[in-house]
């Protein structure tokens, strides 16, 4: 069935939101939360980085029972590498939220994103928690404020919604730099009023994440704070599970692409398919090698039809042999799709100008056909520009 994604902030039965400024870094929104009137079933996936932030450690404890009722997020400071005191801070924040909402501490999932290696300004957060009861609301402006409050170097909010039967799913994400999620992603929160159990939600979310957030890279750097969570309060009753998964996957891919498109300094979204691989692993390793190659990314930025850099990057996957005579690379889509391969070099038939034109677009579609087998993968990323350097050479200072 055709799923209709809607890019709008839409109220979800039983859920409240807030987003406000508590002064962590500047006067932009930096503190936000989600609250459900009733206990929710959950799914959650976290970063594989071996140096996870304190909120990840506490969050994993809190989802052991498969239940949650609130999410609390601050941006501008990731609460990572802050030792036991950072963990105590994350626990204390959950406790403050729980007291305000009159729920158990472990019903709260904490998240933090921003600079690594600095203690949270707990005085600001404690003060920010004093008015939580009044802060929460279910209007679209409450939801919008939440979406903005979790942003760091993002240039725009990332959100999507969908209706399936009587149920609605809303997804809100952030992410711009330090993006190569691995078995997880940057921050992304889904809420739904569909009735669906934790036993179903967890594997569904995992499959969706694997085909979306785990297939993007902005800069090959895996964050210490990556978190995707879904809360389902069941208020709208049961839902077609297959349809629900299809919708969640499409929403996840949409948000993953939005994160890639808004990669730090990016001017172009790249969708790269690798097909004809001899194994699934070869397809993914090759796709990631090309997507993360600084020389490929700068060539795309410059609209330079330098296909040799693709050849180089494909050849970096040392464990698989590729026959260059079977290799073909396609640029563009539909009628505006042109190929290049080694045979064409010789008779000077490479449509360099046409490929360069395609690379001028803000959405670039590339397919690499290895000619080795039947496996394929699709990944998303962005170009590498001077702006990425500027943003990251002066982040904390």
Residues 80, 53: Cα–Cα separation, whole Å: 4
Nearer to its own copies, 119 or 195 (CB): 119
175 sits near its own copies (criterion: CB under 8 A):
no
Cβ–Cβ under 8 Å, residues 327 and 371: yes
Which range in 17-25, 66-74, 273-281, 312-320 contacts its own copies by CB under 8 A?
Answer: 312-320
Question: Site for its own copies (CB under 8 A): which residue of 7, 316, 326, 337?
Answer: 316
Which range in 33-41, 92-100, 150-158, 313-321 contacts its own copies by CB under 8 A?
Answer: 313-321
Judged by phi (left if over 0) then psi (alpha if -120 to 50, else beta), residue 128 lies in: alpha
- CA torsion 79-80-83-88 (nearest 10°) is 30
3-state class (DSSP) for residue 36: strand
Which range in 68-76, 250-258, 270-278, 341-349 contacts its own copies by CB under 8 A?
Answer: 341-349
Residues 188, 171: Cα–Cα separation, whole Å: 7
With 0-12 / 13-18 / 19 or more C-beta atoms within 10 angstroms meaning exposed / middle / buried, residue 51 is exposed
Name the nearest CA neighbour of 97 among 68, 60, 71, 124: 71
Q: Is 28 a catalytic residue?
A: no
Nearer to its own copies, 24 or 108 (CB): 24
Provide, rounded to whole angstroms, the least separation between the CB of residue 58 and its own copies: 15
Q: Phi then psi for 20, rounded to 5 degrees?
A: -150, 175
3-state class (DSSP) for residue 277: strand
Name the nearest CA neighbour of 267 among 139, 172, 388: 388
299 sits near its own copies (criterion: CB under 8 A):
yes
75 sits near its own copies (criterion: CB under 8 A):
no
57 sits near its own copies (criterion: CB under 8 A):
no
* DSSP one-letter string for 221-251: PPPS--EEEEEE--TT-B--HHHHHHHHHHH
- DSSP lists the bridge partners of residue 364 as 270
Residues 14, 251: Cα–Cα separation, whole Å: 21
Question: Site for its own copies (CB under 8 A): which residue of 322, 355, 358, 370?
Answer: 322
What mask of x and - would describe binding to its own copies in positions 236 to 275, judged by CB under 8 A?
----------------------------------------
Question: Site for its own copies (CB under 8 A): which residue of 306, 365, 372, 379?
Answer: 306
219 sits near its own copies (criterion: CB under 8 A):
yes
Which range in 29-37, 81-89, 202-210, 227-235 contacts its own copies by CB under 8 A?
Answer: 81-89
51 sits near its own copies (criterion: CB under 8 A):
yes
287 sits near its own copies (criterion: CB under 8 A):
no
Nearer to its own copies, 8 or 316 (CB): 316
Q: Within 13 Å of residue 124, how many CA atoms lie on the same side as its CB?
A: 18
Provide, rounded to whole angstroms, the least separation between the CB of residue 116 and its own copies: 2
Q: Which residues of 190-205 are buried (b: 16+ CB within 10 A; e: fewer)?
A: bbbbbbbebebbbebb
349 sits near its own copies (criterion: CB under 8 A):
no
Of 152, 185, 192, 222, which residue is the catalytic one?
Answer: 185
Question: Site for its own copies (CB under 8 A): which residue of 5, 39, 115, 378?
Answer: 115
326 sits near its own copies (criterion: CB under 8 A):
no
Rg (CA), the chain: 22
Residues found near its own copies in the complex (CB under 8 A): 48-52, 78, 80-83, 85, 115-119, 177-178, 182, 219-224, 292-295, 298-299, 301-302, 304-309, 311-318, 320-322, 324-325, 342-343, 345-346, 356, 384-386, 388-390, 392-397
Which residues are annotated as catalytic? 185
């Amino acid at each position: 069935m055709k799923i209709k994604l809607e890019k709008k902030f839409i109220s979800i039965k039983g859920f409240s939101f807030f987003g406000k400024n508590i002064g962590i870094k500047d006067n932009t929104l930096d503190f936000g939360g989600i609250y459900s009137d009733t206990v929710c079933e959950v799914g959650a996936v976290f970063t594989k980085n071996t140096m996870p932030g304190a909120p990840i450690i506490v969050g994993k404890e809190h989802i052991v029972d498969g239940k949650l009722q609130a999410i609390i997020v601050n941006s501008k400071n990731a609460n990572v590498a802050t030792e036991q005191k950072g963990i105590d801070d994350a626990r204390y924040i959950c406790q403050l939220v729980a007291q305000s909402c009159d729920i158990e501490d472990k019903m709260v999932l904490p998240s933090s994103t921003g600079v690594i290696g600095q203690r949270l300004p707990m005085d600001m957060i404690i003060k920010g928690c004093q008015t939580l009861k009044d802060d929460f609301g279910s209007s679209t402006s409450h939801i919008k404020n939440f979406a903005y409050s979790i942003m760091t170097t993002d240039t725009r909010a990332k959100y999507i919604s969908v209706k399936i039967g009587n149920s609605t799913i809303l997804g809100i994400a952030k992410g711009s730099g330090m993006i190569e999620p691995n078995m997880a992603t940057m921050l992304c929160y889904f809420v739904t009023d569909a009735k669906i159990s934790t036993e179903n939600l967890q594997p569904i979310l995992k499959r969706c994440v694997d085909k979306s957030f785990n297939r993007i890279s902005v800069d090959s750097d895996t964050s210490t704070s990556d978190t995707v969570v879904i809360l389902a309060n069941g208020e709208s009753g049961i839902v077609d599970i297959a349809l629900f998964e299809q919708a969640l996957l499409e929403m996840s891919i949409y948000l993953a692409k939005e994160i890639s498109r808004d990669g730090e300094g990016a001017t172009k979204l790249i969708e790269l398919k690798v097909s004809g691989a001899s194994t699934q692993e070869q397809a993914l390793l090759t796709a990631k090698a090309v997507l993360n190659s600084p020389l490929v990314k700068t060539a795309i930025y410059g609209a330079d039809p330098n296909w040799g850099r693709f050849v180089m990057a494909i050849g970096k996957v040392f464990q698989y042999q590729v026959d260059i005579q079977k290799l073909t690379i396609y640029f563009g889509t539909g009628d505006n799709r042109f190929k290049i391969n080694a045979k064409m070099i010789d008779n000077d038939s490479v449509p360099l100008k046409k490929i360069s034109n395609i690379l001028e677009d803000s959405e670039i579609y590339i397919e690499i056909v290895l000619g080795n087998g039947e496996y394929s993968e699709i990944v998303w990323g962005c170009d590498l520009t001077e702006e990425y350097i500027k943003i990251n050479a002066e982040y904390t200072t």
